Amino acid sequence: MTWQLRSVDLPDLARGATLLGTGGGGDPYIGKMLVERVLGERSITILDPAELDDDLFVIPTAQMGAPTVMIEKIPAGTEPTLALRTLEEHLGKRADATMPIECGGINSMIPLIVAAETGLPVVDADGMGRAFPELSMETFAVYGVHGSPLALAGERGEQVIIDTGDDDRQMEWLARGITIRLGGVGHIAEYAMSGADVKRTAVPRTISMALALGRAIRLAREANRSPFEAIADTLAPTLYSHMRELFAGKVTDVERRTTEGFAKGRAIISPLDPTVEGRFEITFQNENLIARHDGAVVAIVPDLICVVDYESAEPITTEGLRYGQRVRVLGISTPDMMRTPDALAAFGPAAFGIAEPFVPVESHDRT
Amino acid sequence: MTWQLRSVDLPDLARGATLLGTGGGGDPYIGKMLVERVLGERSITILDPAELDDDLFVIPTAQMGAPTVMIEKIPAGTEPTLALRTLEEHLGKRADATMPIECGGINSMIPLIVAAETGLPVVDADGMGRAFPELSMETFAVYGVHGSPLALAGERGEQVIIDTGDDDRQMEWLARGITIRLGGVGHIAEYAMSGADVKRTAVPRTISMALALGRAIRLAREANRSPFEAIADTLAPTLYSHMRELFAGKVTDVERRTTEGFAKGRAIISPLDPTVEGRFEITFQNENLIARHDGAVVAIVPDLICVVDYESAEPITTEGLRYGQRVRVLGISTPDMMRTPDALAAFGPAAFGIAEPFVPVESHDRT
């Protein structure tokens, strides 16, 4: 179903997108402000992926860079549209719609900025089904749509086009090099595809899911109901049907460093009651990658590992983690299309250099 | 006058291009082998810049990277033509000719590889009048033709287009970032221009000058005449009319390091007779930048500082400098168009962070 997104929806969408960012994805609140500024009282048309014409021409838009830098370096707001126009000119074809490549964090907002500026509709789908740190970690690529040619725009009007054929990892490598030389943030248009490609390769309805999650958390708080039950109830009928609490406790250690354009590190969470034994550890590279309880893996990428406030369920990014915070860690199952062997090769544990195999978060329930 | 270049000319051209490389510019002997392989018994048409049609469309081609890496990483040979084709496609216009951006070192040969592969003629001119380390150090840019859009090709078929408008330094910065991520060498097409632009902005007849220099050195050796007099006689009627010996001696110290994609360092040359006082020092960044005799500047960029073998006048690159070599250092004046205030701002001493002002090499004669 086609629907209209308005400025009033953006706070809920940002909250949901932070949850789906699983600790990373950049700060959607900055993106939200940019959308609000451009959109005003108008609305953005959101297209249901199942209803797309097969020959609709879609150019996804996004920002790339380390989340740490994104917070410090607020974009002018015109770069994502410049990236889109650069790719349109290169391909000699105008886009009928834009789409996120990632539904978590700031990249849930970038296509909305483009939509507000250009009047283009946005497809309610994405290629990560969460946030991931690299441009090659896309269901688009797993199912045969490649990122090249990619267009990249900088804040001084720089325009770069990168074409590495089917090699999406080399595209990521070169685009990352440009982004670093642009000061840490670049805006991109890539993975241009048809409506038929969207239906075959995208994770569907992730904008509406992010909005529903953010709204459910808010409404539960307002009604003094459990926001955690509200999250679980919202997810149950979606492709992300399983959610459970992996741990509850207090942040007792955080290590992080920004290296090679990524924020890498780990967090330790200890039981609230100091007389209780137990140690919970999360390792992250921009996003949370693996969660261990007393050394045993309880959730692993690409499943979602989300740290939220102990009471309010407000999502907490890896940048926002602080000593002493009382938190809960939620594990959320990813859609089947993100768990195939090809998908796991692109963004499963081995893609991050993690030796442990993927085990679905819901299969740990038995232990 | 239009003339034909044949494989038999290439050893002389390579020798002359090494001299004009003033220590840098990459090894033309590797490029020479690539030209010979592609050219065989055919010839390349060399166009005189003064005779070009004003609306001839010229796309210069070149290699970029640290000379150290160029020696270790021999190009497949097809990348420069891929760069040309990438830029043609981007501009929607086919080139009528190619041209060097630099007449010293390997970049004297790269356009010949393109010519041998495509059948295009080569314009007898370039934008550096020697070798320089950065893509923005071009008479083209000084006189109003900018490098963007630049096309860059990698050995695995990667195609990148960079457009930074009139900002040639930002173009250099981004293209250098891609080149580093391609392993240290990239092949480029940039500074696309008309025949009228060539006449206004290029240093003319530098291919024929390099060939004449290399040939004069060889013929003098064969006739047991002084190759140094042959060099001076060859240069006298050109725009590079002044040549003199700055020093003769033995290399007693060489410091070099490859840093940020450049080979930087210095060489000390001492008198052959150890009872004679005197210390000659050359500082280089890929190319020789400044020569000091007992602390006093005797030649400075953009004038040419060329280290050659003491007897044979064979040019020696900074990579080739070794302790104990007996050498002469030659100072050669650059054309007036390379000594204007705008030209000196682009590639004079200050552009390399050197505090000393430019003083023409011929004005030191009085001391």
Please check whether residue B119 touches A, CB under 8 A. no
Using one digit for the tens of pLDDT, what is the confidence trace for A45-77?
999 999 999 999 999 999 998 655 555 556 567
Integer Cα distance of B14 and B194 in angstroms: 27
Name residue, tokens 């048409």.
B45
CB distance B158–A159 less than 8 Å? no
Nearest CB to B161 within list A157, A160, A164: A160
Assign B367 a pLDDT band (cuts: 50, 70, 90): very low
- Residues of B in Cβ contact (< 8 Å) with A156: 164, 167, 170
- Nearest C-alpha in A relative to B172: A181
Kindly identify which residue of chain A lies nearest to residue B152, measuring between CA atoms: A162
Query: For B325-348, how does the pLDDT look when each residue is reduced to its tens digit (9 = 90+)?
Result: 999 999 999 999 999 999 999 999
For residue B160, give the nearest of A161, A165, A176 by CB distance.
Answer: A161
What pLDDT does B277 receive? 87
Name the DSSP class of B125: E
How far is the C-alpha of A106 from the C-alpha of A66, rounded, in Å?
Answer: 11
Average pLDDT, chain B: 94
- Of A218 and A184, more confident: A218
Across A152-164, average pLDDT? 96
Q: What is the dihedral of CA A278, A284, A289, A290, to 10 degrees?
A: -20
Helices (H), chain B: 10-20, 28-39, 67-72, 79-91, 110-118, 139-142, 168-181, 195-201, 206-222, 227-235, 341-347
Per the CB < 8 Å rule, is A156 touching B164?
A: yes
In CATH, what is the architecture of A3-204?
A: 3-Layer(aba) Sandwich (3.40)
The fold of the A242-366 domain, in CATH, is CV3147-like (2.40.390)
Indicate if the pLDDT at residue B72 is higher than 70.
Answer: no
More confident residue, B146 or B1: B146
Asked if the Cβ–Cβ distance from B158 to A162 is below 8 Å, we say yes
Q: What would the pLDDT profile of B248-301 be if each residue is shown by its tens digit?
A: 999 999 998 877 767 889 999 999 988 888 999 999 998 999 999 999 999 999
d(CA B32, CA B62): 14
Instruction: Give the pLDDT of residue A71.
Output: 55
Higher per-residue confidence, B127 vs A363: B127
What pTM was computed for the model? 0.91
User: What pairing do the DSSP bridges indicate for beta strands B43-47 and B122-123?
Assistant: parallel
Task: Please say whether the beta carbons of A244 and A331 come within 8 A.
Answer: yes
Give percent of chain A above pLDDT 90: 85
At residue B66, the pLDDT reads 67
Structure tokens at B78: 């097809």
Share of chain B above pLDDT 90, in %: 85
Distance from CA of A91 to the nearest CA of B (A): 10
Q: Which pLDDT value is given to residue A366?
A: 44
Q: In the structure, what pLDDT confidence band is assigned to residue A262 with cuts at 50, 70 and 90?
A: confident
Q: Which of A113, A188, A98, A99 is nearest to A152 (CA)?
A: A188
Task: Provide the 3-class DSSP secondary structure of residue B238.
Answer: coil
Q: Where in chain B is the domain with CATH 2.40.390.10?
A: 240-353
When scoring A161, A164, A168, A176 by the number of chain B Cβ atoms within 10 A, the one with the most, hence best to mutate, is A161
C-alpha distances out from residue B82 to A177, A217, B117, B172, Å: 21, 54, 11, 19
Domain with CATH 3.40.1610.10 in chain B: 3-204
pLDDT tens figures, A275-308 = 888 999 999 998 999 999 999 999 999 999 999 9
> Nearest-CA residue of chain B relative to A157?
B164
Chain B neighbors of A90, CB-CB under 8 A: 90, 161
Say if residue B46's pLDDT is above 70. yes
Encode A319-350: b = buried (16+ Cβ within 10 Å), e = exposed: bebeeebebbbbbbbbbebbeeeebbebbbbe
Cβ of residue A160 closer than 8 Å to a chain B Cβ: yes
Q: Is the pLDDT of residue B127 over 60?
A: yes
Question: Which pLDDT score is estimated for B77?
Answer: 74
Task: Give B174's contacts in chain A (Cβ within 8 Å).
Answer: 158, 160, 178, 181-182
CA angle B4, B10, B14 (to 5 degrees): 130
Residue B34's pLDDT band (cuts 50, 70, 90):
confident
- Read off the pLDDT of residues B141-191 as tens digits, 9 standing for 90 and up: 999 999 999 999 999 999 999 999 999 999 999 999 999 999 888 999 999
* Closest alpha carbon to A310 in A252, A227, A232, A231: A227
pLDDT-derived band at B319 (thresholds 50, 70, 90) equals confident
Nearest CA in chain A to B168: A158
CATH 2.40.390.10 intervals, chain A: 242-366
The mean pLDDT value of chain A amounts to 94
- The CATH code belonging to domain B240-353 is 2.40.390.10
pLDDT at A261 over 90: no
CB contact under 8 A, A178 and B182: no
Q: How far is CA B140 from the centre of its chain?
A: 14
Inform me whether the C-beta atom of residue B160 falls under 8 Å from chain A C-beta atoms. yes
Total residue length of chain B = 367
Q: Do A161 and B157 touch (CB under 8 A)?
A: no
Element containing residue B254 per DSSP (H, E): strand B243-259
Task: Choose the mutation target among A90, A160, A171, A260 for the interface with B, i.e. most B CBs under 10 Å.
Answer: A160
B173 interfaces chain A, CB cutoff of 8 Å: yes
